Amino acid sequence: MHPCLALPEIVLQIVQQVSNEPPNATLASLAQTSRLFLEPSLNALWRNPGYNVLLYLARTFPDGALNVTEVGLYGKYRVVRATYQSCKRAVTQSYWKEIRRSLTAADWERPLSYCKRVRVFNHEITDFVRTTNILVLLTTGMPTSFLFPRLQSLYWRSDINGSAFTGGSNSLRFLLPPTIKDLTLVGPIPTVVSHLLVVATKNLSLERLALRPGMTDLATVITDHDIAALSAFVCQLSGLKSLVVPSLDPAALEHISQLQSLEKLHVTRRIPSTGWQALHDCEELFTSLNSLTLENADLLFVTPFIGSLAHSPLQVLEIYPQRTATTGSVAEVFAALSECGLEPSINRIHVCSYHSPEQLGTSIWSLERSSFLVLAKFSNLEYIVLHAPGGFLFGDDALQTVLQSCPRLSSLELTHPLLVPNTTPTQFTSMTLVNIATHSKSLKSLQLTLDLSAPLSSAYPVTSDGVR
């Protein structure tokens, strides 16, 4: 063997190159090549082993210890409960597990040697249904406190009903070692709140926390009780870098505003307009925040809240107004944006409506010319995404002003509704394309509604005799 392979740095570089190129069979072959490659290759192979990791672990036990059998959806052992068929029709098999004899410490040696290498574990609904029994079996009889003692990132999704969920949820406590830095919990909000009781007992030093509603829970109204429970948990965290949360009360909002580590904040539900009062008299808040997303936003909260971002190095701002937003309330948000002092840092602005004009009824807001011209102050903008369900109350000249002021713009989306009552017809003509070609040399993506009833404009001057 070449002497250079005695250098750990070279071996690690080879393993890294191989691990970046699927399939994993290449990495597994490398682990069998030499003892020099064995440990680094196994570490890379098991670092993020994918959705079948529990099945892999079950098969590492000695022969005769466990019996893992694949069965069809309508097989004899039908371990997938009645909710399986409606939750995930695409998965056509599950696994039946049974302990064939008592497990000893020696039986666990090989599985645990792989468990300690796992850094990322994802447990989603499809995998949840197929391998719940394996998870319960492993966490019930294992001789250690945690199944993956060096786990760093956990994605736990539990938005299904029935007894399959009950068995899996009881195993969550065994997947929260002190090394966890990144935690995502997805499911019905009451279920997520219940999981937080388990998480709180572990005193984890989380850096990234995401609490998201499940697909079947998107339209559910979050209760004050759940907001209080979520907020109480967030107030216990002091080193957060990223937070995704349904909502927060004023005390939790004040707490995170003073975290010098917080870089990303994403709120998926409405924060009441009274929430901003906790920040009204404070200075130098959100000093590290560079990304802010507010979904279903109460603009009476957003307008004063933007003022608290004056000392933030904010780069990304995404606002999705709630259904009751008006043209006037949207204009107030843009007015606050023009006075907040974020011009040097911000490079991406999204203001979009989740709701179609039909859903909004008479509460259809439009974007005024003066609001759009506020964007001309942000010369470092690279992305502009605006969706006004009532249309845009400006045309080519306003857009030209913004394009001239934002030479770095690479993506522009001005989504205008078509053939919908109570909306303003588009005022953009073919001249907009000329302006874009002239002023936006960096533009790579364009989504725009044009009125092409007028003759196409030319980018070149034309004399009276028609010569360019």
364 vs 326: CA distance, rounded Å? 7
Q: Which positions ≥6 away from 310 have C-beta within 8 Å?
A: 340, 341, 342
In whole angstroms, what is the distance from residue 416 CA to residue 463 CA? 35
Supply the pLDDT for residue 403.
93
Q: In angstroms, rounded to a whole number, what is the distance separating the alpha carbons of residues 246 and 231?
A: 10
pTM of the model: 0.83
pLDDT level of residue 454 (50, 70, 90 thresholds): low
Contact present, 220 and 248 (Cβ < 8 Å): no
Q: Which residue has the tokens 């933030």?
A: 312
Q: Look at the block and give the residue holding tokens 């937070």.
A: 243
CA neighbor of 284 nearest in space, from 259, 308, 255? 308
| Residue 209 CA: distances (Å) to CA of 184, 309, 430 | 6, 21, 46
Torsion of Cα atoms, 259 then 262 then 265 then 269, to 10°: -30
Residue 69 lies in a domain: yes
Task: Tell me how many degrees the CA angle 207-213-217 measures, rounded to the nearest 5.
Answer: 175
Q: Which of these three, 125, 143, 161, is where a domain ends?
A: 143
Structure tokens at 380: 């470092």
pLDDT at 404 over 80: yes
Q: Does 24 have pLDDT greater than 60?
A: yes
Q: Do 30 and 91 reside in the same domain of the chain? A: no
| pLDDT exceeds 50 at position 73 | no
Q: What tokens does 372 get? A: 């759009």
Q: Are residues 70 and 33 in the same domain?
A: no
Supply 146's token pair.
């945690």
Any domain includes 329: no
Same domain? 71 vs 113: yes
Whether 174 and 145 have beta carbons less than 8 Å apart is answered as: yes
Note whether 76 and 28 are same-domain residues. Answer: no
149: left (phi over 0), alpha (psi -120 to 50) or beta: alpha
- Provide the domain count of the chain: 2
Residue 39: inside a domain: yes
- The predicted pLDDT at position 381 comes to 95
Task: Using the structure block, give the residue that is written with the tokens 């009532």.
Answer: 390
Structural domain of 124: 48-143
Tens of pLDDT, residue by residue over 91-138, are 334 554 555 667 788 889 999 999 999 999 998 754 445 566 778 778
Based on the domain organization, do 5 and 91 belong to the same domain?
A: no
- Assess if residue 52 is contained within a domain: yes
Instruction: Looking at the structure, tell me whether residues 20 and 93 fall in a common domain.
Output: no
| Residue where a domain stops, chosen among 114, 143, 172 | 143
* Contacts for 228 with CB less than 8 Å, ≥ 6 apart: 249
Domain contains 72: yes
69 with 123, same domain: the answer is yes
Share in percent of the chain as helix, strand, coil (round to 5):
40, 15, 45
Rounded mean pLDDT, 433-449: 88
Contact 69, 96 (CB under 8 A): yes
Specify whether 107 is located in the same domain as 34.
no
pLDDT at 33: 76
Least confident segment among 90-94, 234-238, 241-245, 294-298: 90-94
Six token digits for residue 76:
């004899």
Percentage above 70 pLDDT, the chain: 75
What pLDDT score was predicted for residue 82?
Answer: 25
Domain membership flag for residue 5: yes
- Regarding predicted confidence, which is higher, 296 or 163? 296
321-344 residue pLDDT tens: 988 899 999 999 999 999 988 888
Is 108 part of a structural domain of the chain?
Answer: yes
CA separation for the pair 144, 105 (Å, rounded): 10
Domain end marker among 86, 120, 143: 143
Extract the tokens encoding 79.
Answer: 């371990």
Is the residue at 355 inside a domain? no
